Chains A and B, each alone.
Chain A
Amino acid sequence: DQQVKQNSPSLSVQEGRISILNCDYTNSMFDYFLWYKKYPAEGPTFLISISSIKDKNEDGRFTVFLNKSAKHLSLHIVPSQPGDSAVYFCAASGNNYGQNFVFGPGTRLSVLP
């Protein structure tokens, strides 16, 4: 049973446009959410996070939105750049010390020049 779902295995976006990556979760005990991106042959790199007390967090071109009632979060990248092409993982956690992160299966983003 997947507790964190990313239903789009892949996404292609034109350079300069907005990329929207979606994530759904089933466990209502999750209270902290993160996005990681992963390039080939590298480990995942932390991108942005949001706690359940917020519904939006912004960092430069990256914004994460959280809809707790729908158990849904999304990552917006504006404007998208070719260097953003990577696999993006949504992850969730339900305690104060970061143990037991639950990751989604990932979405492969391709930003076309």
Chain B
Amino acid sequence: ETGVTQSPTHLIKTRGQQVTLRCSSQSGHNTVSWYQQALGQGPQFIFQYYREEENGRGNFPPRFSGLQFPNYSSELNVNALELDDSALYLCASSPLGGGVPYEQYFGPGTRLTVT
């Protein structure tokens, strides 16, 4: 069974640029959630995708957008990067409706630095 994978591991971008982060969900999982974890804080929910549709969103501006593909992998896109976007971005997958409904499996994260 393959776990949740994310790419790239690290990324450095300049303020105003755009970035795309990628996530492959765990085998058999059809739901993907994205979180932002700033230094010294807990993960903060950005949004969730289920069957290629957004299924809930946290308090993040529209310049944070996402996609989910038919194979349940997902992308997080951030436009017009700001310095405060520097954080660890975590992807988590879960088998919505099956097993333990709330259990989410996290990937190792992508460390984004905006300069």
Interface residues of A (CB under 8 A from B): 4, 6, 32, 34, 36, 41-46, 49, 89, 91, 93, 96-106
Query: Known: A42-B108, A43-B4, A49-B102. Contact between A97 and B96, CB under 8 A?
Result: yes
Contacting residues, chain A, for B42 (C-beta < 8 A): 4, 6, 89, 91, 103-106
Closest residue of A by beta carbon distance from B3: A43
Contacting residues, chain A, for B90 (C-beta < 8 A): 43-44
The total of interchain contacts (Cβ-Cβ below 8 angstroms) comes to 72
> Are B41 and A45 in contact, with the CB atoms below 8 A?
no
Q: How far does the alpha carbon of A93 sit from the alpha carbon of B44 in the complex, in Å? A: 12
Contacting residues, chain B, for A6 (C-beta < 8 A): 42
Closest residue of A by beta carbon distance from B37: A103
Contacting residues, chain A, for B105 (C-beta < 8 A): 46
Q: How far does the alpha carbon of A34 sit from the alpha carbon of B105 in the complex, in Å? A: 12
